[in-house]
Chains A and B, each alone.
Chain A
Amino acid sequence: DSGVTQTPKHLITATGQRVTLRCSPRSGDLSVYWYQQSLDQGLQFLIQYYNGEERAKGNILERFSAQQFPDLHSELNLSSLELGDSALYFCASSVGVGPAGELFFGEGSRLTVL
């Protein structure tokens, strides 16, 4: 158990819909990262938050947005969903903003868009 909690574990929805994925980082970790894992793209970095502020951005679509709340949990919002958004979405947390510590990953949220 990494200590990172992601909900829901599985989600099935239709094209055009909007979903929210939630992540609670390990106790004491200030950084939260979101990754998307799909068969064709592999593991892709989406976005990082550190202590409530956006820190780094990767290949995140404009239809996607995220935020980190004062209690440090984070939410990833996916809107106008397309079939290609079907993937496993991972949240990871770390103590600091850089690579000084390892990233601890949650078990992922599997999104299926029909």
Chain B
Amino acid sequence: AQKVTQAQTEISVVEKEDVTLDCVYETRDTTYYLFWYKQPPSGELVFLIRRNSFDEQNEISGRYSWNFQKSTSSFNFTITASQVVDSAVYFCALSENSNSGYALNFGKGTSLLVTP
């Protein structure tokens, strides 16, 4: 069963638009961690944020913000005033204590294209 669902496969926006990437997760643990990673066209995976399950405070970092809601098991990511350089595939991931240790369980990713 998919533990992390990113329902949006592809999103296309025009520069300066705001865009929200959805992430829904599934876990029975009370202690878990959620992550967002960015994979630009060059291919590397870049860490964006980590949240633990006990901290529901929303976070803002520049144009990036994250909304964590345990009630809906969601950890959404918003980019404000998008830029062409934001074009990438974005992955949401869950880390919980499982048979695979705390290894990250990634969603399928959302491909974001920002056009000028």
Contacts and interface: CB of A to CB of B under 8 A. Distances in A.
**Are A and B part of the same complex?**
yes
Interface of A: 2, 33, 42-43, 45, 48, 55-58, 88, 90, 92, 97-99, 102-108, 110
B95 interface: yes
B68 interface: no
A99 B50 CA distance: 9
Contacts, number: 61
Contacts of A107: 42-44
Given A2-B44, A99-B102, A107-B42, 14 more contacts: A45-B104, A57-B100, A58-B103, A88-B43, A97-B101, A98-B97, A98-B101, A102-B47, A102-B50, A104-B47, A105-B45, A105-B46, A107-B44, A108-B43
Interface residues of B, number: 24
A96 to B, nearest CB: 9
B103 A56 contact: yes
